[in-house]
Amino acid sequence: MRNFEQIVRRLASNDGGAFLKDHLIGLEKESLRVAMDGTLSQRPHPRALGSALTHPMITTDYSEAMLELITPPMSKAGDALSMLCDIHKFVYDNIDDEILWSTSMPCVLAGETNIPVAEYGTSHAGRMKHTYRVGLGHRYGKVMQVISGVHFNYSVDENFWPFYAELQDWRGGLQPFIDTASMGMIRNLQRYGWIIPYLFGASPAVCKSFFGDKAVTMLEFDEGTWYEPYATSLRMSDIGYQNQKEESVGIKANYDSLQAYIDSLRCAIETPAPLWEMIGLKHDDGSWKQLNTNILQIENEYYSTVRPKQVLQGMEKPVNALQQRGIRYIELRSLDVNAFEPLGINETQLNFLEIFLLACLLQESPGISMDERAEIDSNLQLTALHGRDDKLRLRRNGELMSLRNWLGEILSGMEPLAELLDGQQAGHPYRAALHWQQQKVQDTGLTPSARMLEEMRENGESFYEFARRKSAEHHRYFSGREIGEERIREFRALASRSIEEQHQREVADRGSFAEFLENYFKDKL
């Protein structure tokens, strides 16, 4: 059973839609801590927030000033957003006079020396996280590492899989089916990944300080801002965090199967790269420049818009977790922070993302050839830089096609699925979410990227002034919210517990850091 419409009808007639409505959603939202003047915070991670190494909900990403707020998996989008809101409120109550930056593209930067790399304590695990980030700075530069985004984690109900396997006449084990179907979903998410920056891209402009003295080919919006007039997401363009030198160091992940994906990343982690060998492993004083000189230090270095994921156990490698237990959930990583939303994302968007991911799961998904890979990469870049240009053409199976016509077709095809997910719900939230995206196809001015540029023009604002104003608005929003005493006690307990856990790790470590790394990469931990 491969035809998408037939599958949706079968799901509806056999009450399979009930399984689709039961799911788990998790959110990861990155935000820079900035001073009131809009410059990047130079303060350490606030102790009141707990240990960035061990806290399950509040950690840091690349920079000490880059918070990452993580919800646990939840069954309803509204519940995930409510938890994210509470986390934001707790953070705001504990960062003194600092604010969280409201956009994906960063605040005013004063060069790489003023971007503090995240610290995680003196344990071997903490030093490894820090050294990995130091290595990213050497390999790709620090500036692109402080671009923020939102990650959407999604898994269908476990009871859906046997039902779907039977529908597909699968004859093997259940986990191999889950892995096969999930990798097909990932391939489709890449094929149609350009949809995300068009609909939700919110970074058409950037502060000139992002580039420093480098030559820039973009247009000047004003004396402080570079932009592209039809851009949707500069974050997802080639100025964002990409493995820009991947051709010279030889890595392209293989998504034909889970095993092919695992093997391709393992190969990259184990293969020396002359380009990175030129950087060296350590400074003269013995401090580490990077974890190793291989193509990838660890799996997470490989940039992808979507990843197969499994819950890790201790210091387990992600590829080993996938090898041992298969795919648990999917992580979509291509979402900009929406400056028009205090949380950077809203429920309508989450409802659409659910439709989109399920459509990618239920549709046929052949392997990706080298030619199609080139199309996928090109379509994403073109949409990120020129997506709102009415004349833009993308390539589909070698043929040029209008972005808006193609997107209109895709969204129309999702209507039966949205209806199935709605069921008897009041207000038809899934159809409403889909309809709103369809309106953006008809009117590009409704997209977040267009709205940002329009507000900047109307108010005579630079990118910095726009982002600073929105950041202040969000600060006031969270300042005016209340958080329950029980939730406050929960967050304080998590913070205290995380600090104690970090301490326990530090005193329990044995041997040198070099020995720890050697054992980690040999899977001997």
The full set of domain ranges for the chain reads 4-521
Separation of alpha carbons 154 and 261, rounded Å: 19
Contact 185, 144 (CB under 8 A): no
Bridge partners of residue 294, in order along the sequence:
272
Find out whether 257 and 365 touch, Cβ atoms under 8 Å: no
CA distance 107 to 32: 8
Provide block-wise average pLDDT over 10 residues at a time, the chain (525 residues): 77 77 94 93 97 98 98 96 98 96 91 94 98 96 95 95 91 96 98 98 96 92 97 92 56 92 95 95 96 96 95 95 98 98 98 97 95 95 97 96 97 95 90 98 98 98 97 96 95 98 97 97 87
Of 346, 335, 457, 439, nearest in space to 384 by CA = 335
Distance between first and last Cα of the chain: 44
Coil, strand or helix at 202: coil
- Residue 1: what pLDDT? 35
Phi, psi of 71, rounded to the nearest 5 degrees: -90, 150
DSSP classification of residue 106: -
Amino acid 2: pLDDT = 52
Report the candidate in 115, 106, 150 with the shortest Cα–Cα distance to residue 136: 115
| Nearest alpha-carbon partner for 43 in 96, 105, 101, 80 | 96
Fold type of domain 4-521: Creatine Kinase; Chain A, domain 2 (3.30.590)
For residue 99, what are the β-bridge partners? 34
Comparing CA positions, the residue from 63, 100, 104, 103 lying closest to residue 85 is 100
Of 306, 68, 326, which is closest to residue 190 (Cα–Cα)?
A: 306
Report d(CA 361, CA 306) in Å as an integer: 13
**Euclidean distance between CA atoms 98 and 101, whole angstroms:** 10
| pLDDT at residue number 250 | 61
Alpha-helical regions (H) of 146-194: 160-167, 174-191
Cα–Cα dist 318/390, whole Å? 41
Beta bridge partners, 330, equal: 154, 308
What kind and span of H or E run contains 155? Answer: strand 150-156
Pairwise CA distance, residues 93 & 352, whole Å: 32
Q: Which pLDDT belongs to residue 30?
A: 98
Q: Enumerate the H helices of 443-484 as residue ranges.
A: 448-459, 463-479
DSSP alpha helix (H) spans, 192-335: 195-200, 246-249, 258-270, 274-277, 318-325
Q: How far apart are CA 213 and CA 206, in angstroms?
A: 14
Q: Encoding tokens for residue 17?
A: 């839609």
Instruction: Provide the pLDDT for residue 203.
Output: 98
How many other CB atoms sit within 10 Å of the CB of residue 337?
Answer: 27
Q: In sequence order, which residues have a C-beta less than 8 Å from that of residue 380 and are 6 or more positions away?
A: 193, 194, 197, 236, 305
Count how many residues are written for the chain. 525
The closest alpha carbon to 29, from 79, 71, 63, belongs to 71
464 touches 108 (CB < 8 A):
yes
